[in-house]
């Protein structure tokens, strides 16, 4: 039988499992002090600062009913979006000329450096998703010079300084 400590992370003392083992991040403790894009609100659950994650970032994203984000990309990161509720419309490409939709239970994969726009395709319901990225960084590069096919309008801007303002 293999030793459970064989191949373990040498930076974690074998007697520290209680403090450096599995972590549960309660839903009400997510951190919205992360890179934001107009029209959506991101909140980190798993990253280096919160749990010491070296190779991934995970959290939630909410897009208001009928809202459209600005065009952006996430640098060298791969992203996976899992739709919890609502209907996501994704636009991507050099002119955001390609489009696909996803609903509850669907996964969306966004490769590195791909310009894209997330759109809540429903006018009466929030779009709620789980978001995962391939590194502990929270990179969001907004592309203000890329004219979106579907113009961002009526979107709620959330930035780290104003994150606690009430929704309007």
Q: What is the pLDDT of residues 122-139, one digit of tens each?
A: 999 999 999 999 987 767
Measured distance CA(37)–CA(71) in Å, rounded: 9
Ramachandran area for residue 124 (φ above 0: left; ψ -120 to 50: alpha; else beta): alpha
Q: What percent of the chain has pLDDT over 90?
A: 30
Provide mean pLDDT across the span 97-124. 94
Radius of gyration from C-alpha coordinates of the chain: 18
Per the rule left: phi > 0, alpha: psi between -120 and 50, beta: everything else, 141 is beta
In CATH terms, 30-142 corresponds, of 3.40.50.300, 1.10.760.10, 2.60.120.10, 3.30.70.141, to 2.60.120.10
Residue position matching structure tokens 């009913």: 65
- Predicted local confidence at residue 125, as pLDDT: 93
The pLDDT of residue 108 is 95
- Give, as one character, the DSSP assignment of residue 5: T
- For residue 3, pLDDT over 70 is answered with no
The phi, psi pair for 50, rounded to 5°, reads -85, -40
CA distance 26 to 53: 17
What size, in residues, is the chain? 168
Q: What is the mean pLDDT of residues 71-87?
A: 92
Evaluate whether 112 touches 78 at the Cβ level (below 8 Å). yes
The pTM for the full model equals: 0.73
For residue 37, which of 103, 104, 116 has the smallest C-alpha distance? Answer: 116
């Amino acid at each position: 039988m293999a030793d459970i400590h064989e191949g373990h992370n040498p930076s974690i003392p074998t007697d520290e499992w209680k403090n450096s083992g599995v972590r549960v991040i309660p839903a009400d403790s997510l951190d919205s002090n992360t890179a934001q894009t107009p029209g959506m609100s991101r909140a980190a659950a798993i990253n280096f600062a919160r749990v010491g994650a070296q190779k991934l970032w995970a959290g939630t994203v909410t897009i208001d009913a009928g809202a459209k984000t600005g065009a952006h990309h996430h640098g060298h990161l791969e992203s996976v979006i899992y739709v919890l509720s609502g209907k996501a419309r994704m636009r991507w490409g050099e002119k955001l000329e390609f489009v696909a939709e996803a609903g509850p239970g669907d996964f969306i994969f966004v490769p590195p450096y791909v310009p894209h726009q997330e759109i809540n395709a429903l006018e009466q319901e929030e779009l709620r998703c789980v978001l995962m990225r391939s590194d502990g960084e929270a990179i969001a590069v907004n592309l203000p010079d890329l004219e979106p096919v579907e113009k961002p309008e009526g979107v709620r801007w959330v930035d780290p300084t104003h994150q606690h303002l009430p929704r309007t």
